[in-house]
Chains A and B, each alone.
Chain A
Amino acid sequence: MSTAFVELDQVTKKYGDHTVLDRVDLAVDRHEVVTLIGASGSGKSTLLRCVNGLETIQGGQISLNGDVVSGEGVDLVKLRRRVGIVFQSFNLFPHMTVLRNCTLTPVRAGVATRDQAEADARVMLERVGLKDKVGAYPDQLSGGQQQRVAIARAMLMRPQVLLLDEITSALDPELVIEVLNLVRELAADGITMMMTTHEMPFAREISSKICFLHKGSILEQGRPEEIFGAPRAPELRTFLRKIHEAGRD
């Protein structure tokens, strides 16, 4: 058995005949932050969704802390409680207050009593700077605030890995910074993370490893200096040039 905390081994994902992930190998160590970059449609979101068990895979294997978490007979509910995920579109429950959004799963999963869960949630919400919004409904919050609630909600399950899928892409530019600051703090706390982002400077600063996905395959991976400073694959160079031309690096 290998020693990586999250390990993807020859993972293949197909929708019908369409192969979206093609024999992907990826290892993430504990406390690492790994960022997936690549053009739209290259399979970044799908890869994260496979790790969380939202998608079933057609080949290969995913393991988490030594346990195989893909294939038949895996308890998906249990897996998902170990792997938090935050989406581009926040996906808070609009009919619940911020506090209830944060306590629902811990209470239902039996990891905390209601009182405990509420106390935990208040601490976490204070930490993400939303102490005074516990009683608010999602549609009363700005995008940045909603996304911070979504991160708090995921963190309250004390996940072993946190997956962040383009969590700032739906935000107005002035709100991006508050969310990125929060992610920075989580990284400093040693939370193991896998994320996708279009914020290249941020990826460069925070990641221990960057993986470049192209048409469902990881073409190149390495430390940020290597990927951004000395890209080898021609596709990666093209991708970085386009990002540069768009002024996003």
Chain B
Amino acid sequence: MNVQASGARTTGGPAPGDDASEPARPLSTRGYLSGAAVLALLTVVVCYAFAGAALPAGQPLRILLGIVLPAVIVGGPLLAAYRGSSLSDQEWAAGRHVAARVAAARSRNASIASLGLTAFIAIVSLAGLLVFTNDGAVQKTFLNGEFMVKSAADIGKALLINVQIAIGAQILAMVFGLLLAVGRLLPGKGFWPVRALCIAYIDVFRGIPSVVLIYLVCFGLPLTEVPILSEGDPILYAVVALALTYSAYNAELYRAGIESINKSQTSAALSMGLSQPDVLRFVILPQMSRNIAAPMLSTFIGLQKDTALVIVVGIIDAFSQAKIYSANDFNLSAVTAVCFLFVLITIPQTRLVDYLLARSSTRKKGV
């Protein structure tokens, strides 16, 4: 917009400071309008192709859904943009400068609305075109309702394994991560070995891919034949393996959270005669938990998705179950169903992350 504004000033009327006879012209509407019109036309073409692929029968329906419907949807704002543009010209000619600027602004807004709608429709139809192209090959391979329904019950049951692993690992990772973060932040010269150990752990375990760690722990520990350590259940091993990785991530979140709290808060708390552990418990941790709730939840979502990696050690989780179905059916729809399930679980959480972020930013502004 700014570029446009300065452009309009140099090419159009006199600069604002000129106290010249004529005031600055409204910003141009032509560029927006023609862009929106061209894109709308292209989109109608794509829609027509999509309608043809998706609905092989019935030319009238194809014209209705492929041309009339998109034209009506994007046509409204486009028409409004055109009207605003010509109204602006008329008002300007009549010397009503403010009215001309208002009309021009409306026209630009309508063009932008039209562009947004058009882009949306174009992307949806392109995706649809891809699904239905080649006689619906994509749809039949990935989105076959029959195969999805058939596998749904077993996949749903297997998903409980993912849920168990995710929750177990998250609890462990939150506790262990906090210990690591506190260990890393311990003050005083005497604690340097503890700090060094925590830093080394965090660096190493953040670097190892989760899938490798799952492989090592789940296959390795039983081989050691060390009492207790080697006698666990594979799911427990998977929980531990993921907790090892994610405690390192969480430790960094905690650390950032603790460091984000103003040093003067610690100073004030200490100066009143609170003990170090009390300062941590009553002053630092409660403030920190507000700051890190959103990033912690984001990391947890990552952990939930990583539970699908247990397929490498033969645990039958949702993905593994779906893979069995897809191998038997020579069709990937069961695996697509797993995608839907994961998305279904994670979307409410990502919405919650956004909500928490929005809330903490209004809180910081002192509302």
B-binding residues in A (CB < 8 A): 52, 54, 76-81, 84-85, 87, 89, 91-95, 104-105, 108-109, 139, 153-154, 157
Contacts and interface: CB of A to CB of B under 8 A. Distances in A.
Interface string B335-364: 000000000000000000000000000000
A154 B271 CA distance: 9
Contacts of B287: 93-95
A81 B273 contact: yes
B282 A104 contact: yes
A157 B271 CA distance: 11
Contacts of A139: 366
Q: Main secondary structure on chain B at its contact with chain A? A: helix
B270 interface: yes
A108 B283 CA distance: 13
Contact of A157 (B264, B273, B275, B282): B273
Contacts of A85: 271
B258 to A, nearest CB: 14
Given A89-B264, A92-B268, A108-B278, 9 more contacts: A77-B273, A78-B273, A87-B268, A91-B268, A93-B265, A93-B282, A95-B286, A105-B272, A157-B273
Interface string B243-287: 000000000000000000000110111111111001000110011
Given A54-B267, A93-B265, A139-B366, A80 B273 contact: yes
Contacts of B157: none
Nearest to A111: B273
Contacts, number: 55
11 contacts: A76-B270, A79-B273, A80-B270, A89-B264, A92-B268, A93-B265, A93-B283, A95-B286, A105-B273, A139-B366, A157-B272
A54 B270 contact: yes
B290 interface: yes
A105 B270 contact: no
Contacts of A80: 270-273
B269 A93 contact: yes
Interface of B: 264-265, 267-275, 278, 282-283, 286-287, 290, 366
Contacts of A93: 265, 268-269, 282-283, 287
B173 to A, nearest CB: 25
A44 to B, nearest CB: 16
Contacts of A92: 268
Contacts of A76: 270
Given A95-B286, A108-B278, A139-B366, A154 B272 contact: yes
A84 B273 CA distance: 9
A50 to B, nearest CB: 12
Closest 5 CB pairs of A and B: A91-B268, A81-B273, A80-B273, A105-B272, A85-B271
A77 B274 CA distance: 6
B264 A91 contact: yes
A87 B273 CA distance: 15
Contacts of B264: 87, 89, 91
A89 B264 CA distance: 8
A153 B275 CA distance: 17
Contacts of A54: 267, 270-271
A54 B271 CA distance: 7
A108 B265 CA distance: 17
Contacts of B278: 108
A204 B287 CA distance: 40
A204 B272 CA distance: 28
B359 to A, nearest CB: 14
Contacts of A89: 264
A90 to B, nearest CB: 8
Contacts of B267: 54, 87, 91
B273 A109 contact: yes
B251 to A, nearest CB: 23
A63 B203 CA distance: 46
B274 A105 contact: yes
Nearest to A105: B272
A52 B272 CA distance: 9
Contacts of B282: 93, 104, 108
A92 B287 CA distance: 12
Contacts of A108: 274-275, 278, 282
Most chain B beta carbons < 10 A, residue from A78, A91, A109 = A91
Given A54-B267, A87-B264, A108-B278, A95 B273 contact: no
A190 to B, nearest CB: 22
Nearest to B268: A91
A42 to B, nearest CB: 20
Nearest to A90: B268
A84 B269 CA distance: 11
A175 B286 CA distance: 30
